[in-house]
Structure 1
């Protein structure tokens, strides 16, 4: 821990990028996706699940309000490992609250704590990546960070859902099973915090920027510099609508796959959900992200923007077909999910690179956080209404609505494409 600061990170990126982005991905997936499976298993309605779990996006929406603090005080390295310990405590608290009479209110409150800690961890981790990685290597490792973020999703959305199903069968109690799952998560995050305390590099640029009495002025200047960017209206519009359709589909995909055919769903068990959506789907999503990162490094973002937006939205038809025909064959269901998730992973790479482009400048950490805040807002508001819409129209009409909701993102893409340098994103450009 006493090694002297050096201009470049002393450790190879492979020693910390995989574990860092695994640690970034798990709490987000737990809050946004695993919570919906948990509450579905515990008997809550789609309306309540979508409404209350969508509110958990709020910390990611408003995190730009405190993102400059991560720049101004302490190192990003400190924020990362300390918040991982906090997340470990939050997972343990969920395990303890589930058996309580008011489990929903108590667990939801802990999920809020988890969400705020995870959002702050995201700020620090993404900023650390931008500071510890040479500019020329950042694009090359986008695929790597995305891959391990997706592996975190695979572990949580696939492995933990499958484990919960097995534990429910073994214990005969949904509450006991999920309490054991969250206790396991608590142990994992304590170990991750301990590892990163020693393993993260110490880049020279990772230092607090607060300067005496001017902290408040610097804080406001970070926001002002972002909103003074040329074309800021178009930037915000694009960030808000790119995932308008997907935000609604993702919020209800697990309930759709778990609901019985008589309710318009597919009728999967937890174990089958862990295989089809949490394993096959996430592998396809990861492959799509890797292919997307490679393709952009070869051809540039501008050239691939249209293919990527089409690949992200067109496969939503797979969900509509599942709702129409309600197949019982797990291979057929898994294939449909894999097609949609591959397209989503491929198309989402363009969104990530666009946010990196927007964040270029002296306040990369805070500006990237502001971008992800608007991304989260674009996920939260549509997701809140998704359960209510489905409860009133059914799954078939709901997925037709989702397809119609892709139109604004196509319109925004047509405007944004003209503003991107053709060389942006190309390797060694």
Structure 2
């Protein structure tokens, strides 16, 4: 018996190592990079360019509206489930088209004059976000269909880490470049960088198409929602997505004012966040992905959700400690590490809840819900912090993690087989 257990353990470890170093994981990482790169090109980098050019603050603020396609992407996601571009396949065909159009849109954005052509700039920026959101839709569907169910956690963590590195290149890298070359040149460089995505798409394999995919546009629009809401736990899944990271999100919305108010300088916060925060998030995502391979999505959600809550409570401890640089480093590192693990499991959970016949539409719907807590729950956090003080504020954010973990009980495989059922779809 011991010999068989040992052989089984060795085989399991061998399979895990093969999964970690598989081509599928490289593709997941590269596609994450491709999705993260365009995001800040229409936010922080564009804001910096417009400010540098002398555009008024009111106009700069209005440009936040060009990000709407990211929250509305479920509206056109059914097109990618219904139609196939036959040359490269159901997923790779659309992905290649979105990436090529995105490259053109990014390069064109750099050629527009922010002062003389603000409306044209807004239109081209909207095209960038539309093609970027379209790429997100297809990449999410591709990842769900390409990876085995047990690989979703690790694949999601690599995708998220690639996404963050893409954001870092476009945001920090773009700003540094802009000190040495024109913004027009920066946007051309970023457009050229998207060639990484094009090459990845050309070399990647096309996922096996599930049986029963939509044959009409009506089926592509209606059936994904009918299929989803026929599940007995459909509303609980939506509630879980809304609540699982809400405490973490609320705390994050107020961390910068908190750091500055208790006496840290902007340089200290920036240096610690860059040195400890970014890399802790990357390592947390990788560790989380490997742990999901071992523990499964459900157990990982429990563990990582608990760690997220504890890390939020760490801010309360820092509020009592005051201006302690070592305390700041410890809190930022732990919060980012646990947040990286939690995000990996969170994204993997959403992927596991989609039906492969309608992956693009169902995942777009679920991922759109991810942004709601960031906007709605974060809005009153300033008033709450003012009213109760920093220590109590972060305690409240910690306790708000409880509803998400309570809802998670309903998804126990032992309780109702939901995860097993979802993986079978």
Q: Provide TM-score, normalisation by structure 1.
A: 0.73
Distance 1:225 1:150, change over 3 A: same
Aligned to 1:226: 228
- Any unmatched runs of 5+ in structure 1? 1-10
Kept after mapping to 2: 8 A contact 1:256/1:264: no
Unaligned stretches of 5+ residues in structure 2: 1-21, 85-89
Change in Cα spacing, 1:152 to 1:128, as seen in structure 2 (3 Å) is closer
Q: Is the 8 A contact 1:47 1:391 kept in 2?
A: no
1:52-63 equivalence runs, <5 A: 53=64, 58-63=68-73
What aligned pairs does 1:3-402 form with structure 2 within 5 A after superposition?
12-14=23-25, 16-28=27-39, 30=41, 53=64, 58-74=68-84, 75-97=90-112, 99-100=114-115, 110-133=124-147, 135=148, 138-140=149-151, 142-157=153-168, 160-161=171-172, 164-165=175-176, 167-168=178-179, 176=182, 179-189=184-194, 191-205=195-209, 209-211=213-215, 214-250=216-252, 266-268=265-267, 273=270, 276-278=272-274, 280-317=276-313, 335-360=330-355, 362-383=357-378, 385=379, 390=382, 397=389, 401=393
Max Rg structure: 2
Contact 1:151 1:286 in 2 (8 A): no
For the 8 Å contact 2:286–2:341, the answer to whether it is kept is yes
Instruction: Call closer, same or farther: CA 1:418–1:195 in 2, change over 3 Å.
Output: same
Given the superposition, is the C-alpha separation of residues 196 and 39 from structure 1 closer, same or farther in structure 2, using an over 3 Å criterion? same
Alpha-carbon distance in structure 2 between the residues aligned to 1:51 and 1:396: 32
Work out whether residues 57 and 115 of structure 1, in 8 Å CA contact, stay in contact via their aligned partners in 2.
Answer: yes
**155-164 or 370-379: bigger deviation:** 155-164
CA-based RMSD of the aligned residues comes to 4.5
Once the two structures are superposed, residues 78-135 of structure 1 have per-residue CA deviations (whole angstroms, 9 ceiling, x without a partner) of 11122112222333344345742676x76565444333322221221121223333x3
Contact 1:247 1:380 in 2 (8 A): no
Corresponding residue pairs, total: 393
The structure whose RCO (Cα within 8 Å, separation 6+) is larger is: 1
* Offset from partner CA, 1:192-245 (integer Å, 9 cap, x none): 35414521213442899453xx43244212222112221222111111122323
Q: Does 241-250 or 67-76 show the bigger shift?
A: 241-250
Name the counterpart of 1:7: none
Indicate conservation of the 8 Å contact 2:54/2:115, yes or no: no
Deviation at 1:40, TM superposition (A): 8.9
Alpha-carbon distance in structure 2 between the residues aligned to 1:42 and 1:146: 38
Question: Shift of the alpha carbon at 1:153?
Answer: 1.3
**Structure 1: distance between partners of 2:308 and 2:53:** 32
| Aligned counterparts of 2:262 and 2:157: Cα–Cα separation in 1 | 35
In the superposition, relative to structure 1, how do residues 406 and 19 fare at CA in structure 2: closer, same or farther (>3 Å)? same
Equivalent in 396, 407, 411 of residue 419 of structure 1: 411
Equivalent pair of 2:282/2:340 in contact (CA under 8 Å): yes
Contact 2:105–2:128 under 8 Å retained in 1: yes
Cα offset, 1:414, TM superposition:
0.9
Could you tell me how far 1:46 is from its partner in structure 2?
11
Tell me how far 1:12 sits from its aligned partner: 3.9
> Does the C-alpha gap of structure 1 residues 166 and 398 become closer, same or farther in structure 2, counting only changes over 3 Å?
farther
Q: Is the 8 A contact 1:154 1:282 kept in 2?
A: no
User: CA separation in 1, counterparts of 2:145 and 2:219?
Assistant: 23
> Is contact 1:241-1:412 (8 Å) kept?
yes
C-alpha distance in structure 1 between counterparts of 2:248 and 2:58, whole Å: 18
Hey, what's the Cα distance between the residues in 1 that align with 2:121 and 2:262? 27
| TM score, norm. by length of structure 2 | 0.73
